[in-house]
Amino acid sequence: MDKLLNDFRPIKRLIFPSEDNSYVVGGSIDKIEPYSENGQMAAVPWFVIYKDGKVIRRVNAAHVETVEYE
């Protein structure tokens, strides 16, 4: 998790294994950022996705298959 949170390269795309879509920065998606939330006795990595300056989705990193960087 530290590796994910301390990697300051901009994220370009998140790909999900069970969905036919992905979130790609560009167009209406402004940015994707990793962060952590407290879980049961441990920090859990998440991603927040911004569209038109607003948070549209938060995704648990366990549900992400691939993270592509710029």
Across 36-56, average pLDDT: 92
From the list 43, 67, 66, 47, the residue with the least C-alpha distance to 58 is 47
Q: Distances in Å between the alpha carbon of 2 and those of 44, 55, 59, 60, 63?
A: 10, 23, 17, 15, 18
Q: Where in the sequence is the domain holding 19, given as residue range(s)?
A: 2-69
pTM of the entire structure?
A: 0.85
Give the whole-angstrom CA distance, residue 20 versus residue 3: 27
- Give pLDDT, residue 39: 85
Instruction: Quote the number of domains for the chain.
Output: 1
- Give pLDDT, residue 4: 83
Q: Is the pLDDT of residue 41 over 90?
A: no
